[in-house]
């Protein structure tokens, strides 16, 4: 039993995107609904604080922070699909702050935490907003616990898109290992198995690119065969999860076939491996079908706490995980010098 604490705020609806944009304020209403149900169960939801300038400056350039700060009070277009409204700067600070607090809670209490935030973060680079992201929330959280003295932090990105921002921020840093499963080739174009880190960070970027159409069985296969064993060897003191639910079969942006039960199974595996070495903190990323987002969040909470009875669903005998096998073949070839034997 891992008692879970949630960090969220009703203010996340105040980041407003143009009509028809998939990363819309209604996603915040899903967070509010699942947080309210959590409170009804007598559980804790903590109100986050804004990230500080010092926290953001660990992963973003000063000039970039000035540019985003200058959007306060007016709408701006930062990228072909990344927009701000009058309050977006303040709300993005709150999203990054919630991620830092969730990470701190996990480290201090050795209990899992879940930050329900928007805008998402994993596409944001040191000096560039992109893919709906302003500040890289999970990277700010990882850098924050490294500044506190942690030596091994893992970020596992379960969003269907590759987290180009998180990868690039820590590409040469062996203290933060970045692991991602994602549809490939797909937006944003990065995430090939051959991208394995550089300099001191060589071997600490671990990409598992999956063909479109991957199922629960494919994801289960790559987590069980490679990601969990690699995490056990890396032994992270904190495991941060970029919790995107857009690999769900209902999602309108991508082409994967994950079910809610499949996501819960991945979350369960990550929570268990994290607990063997430290603890885990989850930070939301994408997930654009509101029904799937709500279902995945609630199933994840139960999976983290160990109260979810996983569906019989993932029948490892009946479904040959062809996409998972193909992905792992490329990962093994690329990572042979660093992670022999996976």
User: Hey, what are 144's tokens?
Assistant: 């924050």
Judged by CB, which is closer to Zn ion: 213, or 306? 213
Q: Select 119 or 278, whichever has its Cβ closest to Zn ion.
A: 119
Asked if 246 touches Zn ion (CB under 5 A), the answer is: yes
Neighbours of 48 (CB within 10 A): 23
Angle between helices 260-277 and 290-305 (to 10 degrees): 40
The reply to whether 21 belongs to the active site is: no
Query: Is the backbone of residue 189 left (phi > 0), alpha (psi -120 to 50) or beta?
Result: left
Which one of 7-15, 61-69, 71-79, 285-293 is the stretch in contact with Zn ion (CB under 5 A)? 285-293
Instruction: Kindly write down the DSSP assignment for every residue of 88-102, as one continuous string.
Output: HHHHHHHHHHHHHHH
DSSP state of 246: T
One residue of 165, 286, 321, 324 binding Zn ion per CB under 5 A? 286
Shortest distance (Å) from residue 273 CB to Zn ion? 23
Q: Which stretch binds Zn ion (CB under 5 A): 73-81, 90-98, 108-116, 237-245?
A: 237-245
**Non-local CB neighbours of 41 within 8 Å, separated by 6+ positions:** none
Is residue 55 part of the contact set for Zn ion (CB under 5 A)? no
Nearer to Zn ion, 152 or 161 (CB): 161
Candidates 121, 163, 236, 244; binder of Zn ion (CB under 5 A) is 244
Work out how close the CB of 274 gets to Zn ion at its nearest, in angstroms, rounded to a whole number: 22
Chain center to CA of 103: 13
Of 146-154, 224-232, 236-244, 301-309: span binding Zn ion (CB under 5 A): 236-244
The CB-nearest residue to Zn ion is: 286
Catalytic residue among 60, 105, 123, 182: 123
Return the number of the residue (195 or 246) whose C-beta is nearest Zn ion. Answer: 246
Contacts of residue 340, Cβ cutoff 8 Å, sequence gap at least 6? none
Joined tokens for residue 230: 């690699």
Going residue by residue from 125 to 164, which x/- string records binding to Zn ion, judged by CB under 5 A?
----------------------------------x-x---
**Gap between the Cα atoms of 133 and 139, Å rounded:** 12
- Whether 181 and 208 have beta carbons less than 8 Å apart is answered as yes
- Given a contact cutoff of 8 angstroms between Cβ atoms, the answer to whether 129 and 92 are in contact is no
Task: Name the residue nearer to Zn ion (CB basis): 244 or 324.
Answer: 244
> What are the residues binding Zn ion (CB under 5 A)?
159, 161, 244, 246, 286
Catalytic (active-site) positions: 123
């Amino acid at each position: 039993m891992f008692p879970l604490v949630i960090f969220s705020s009703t203010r996340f609806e105040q980041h407003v995107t143009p009509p028809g944009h998939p990363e819309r304020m209604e996603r915040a209403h899903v967070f509010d609904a699942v947080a309210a149900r959590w409170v009804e169960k007598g559980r804790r939801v903590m109100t986050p604080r804004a990230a500080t300038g010092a926290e953001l400056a660990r992963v973003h350039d000063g000039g970039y922070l000035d540019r985003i700060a200058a959007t306060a009070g007016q709408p701006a277009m930062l990228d072909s699909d990344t927009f701000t409204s009058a309050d977006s700067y303040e709300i993005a600070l709150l999203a990054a702050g919630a991620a830092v607090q969730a990470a701190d809670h996990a480290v201090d209490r050795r209990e899992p935490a879940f930050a329900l935030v928007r805008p998402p973060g994993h596409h944001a680079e040191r000096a560039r907003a992109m893919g709906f992201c302003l500040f890289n929330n999970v990277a700010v959280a990882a850098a924050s616990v490294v500044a506190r003295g942690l030596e091994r932090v893992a970020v596992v990105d379960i969003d269907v898109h590759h987290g180009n921002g998180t990868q690039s921020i820590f590409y040469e840093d062996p203290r933060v290992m970045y692991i991602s499963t994602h549809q490939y080739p797909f937006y944003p174009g990065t995430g090939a198995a051959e991208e394995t880190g550089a300099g001191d960070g060589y071997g600490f970027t671990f990409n598992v690119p999956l063909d479109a159409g991957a199922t629960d069985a494919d994801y289960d296969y790559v987590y069980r065969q490679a990601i969990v064993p690699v995490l056990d060897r890396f032994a992270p003191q904190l495991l941060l999860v970029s919790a995107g639910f857009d690999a769900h079969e209902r999602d309108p942006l991508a082409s994967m076939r994950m079910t809610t039960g499949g996501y819960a199974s991945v979350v369960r595996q990550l929570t268990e491996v994290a607990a063997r070495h430290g603890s885990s903190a989850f930070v939301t990323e994408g997930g654009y079908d509101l029904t799937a987002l709500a279902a995945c969040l609630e199933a994840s909470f139960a999976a983290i706490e160990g109260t979810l009875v996983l569906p019989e669903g993932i029948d490892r005998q009946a479904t040959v995980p062809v996409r998972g096998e193909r992905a792992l073949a490329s990962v093994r070839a690329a990572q042979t010098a660093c992670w022999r034997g996976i």
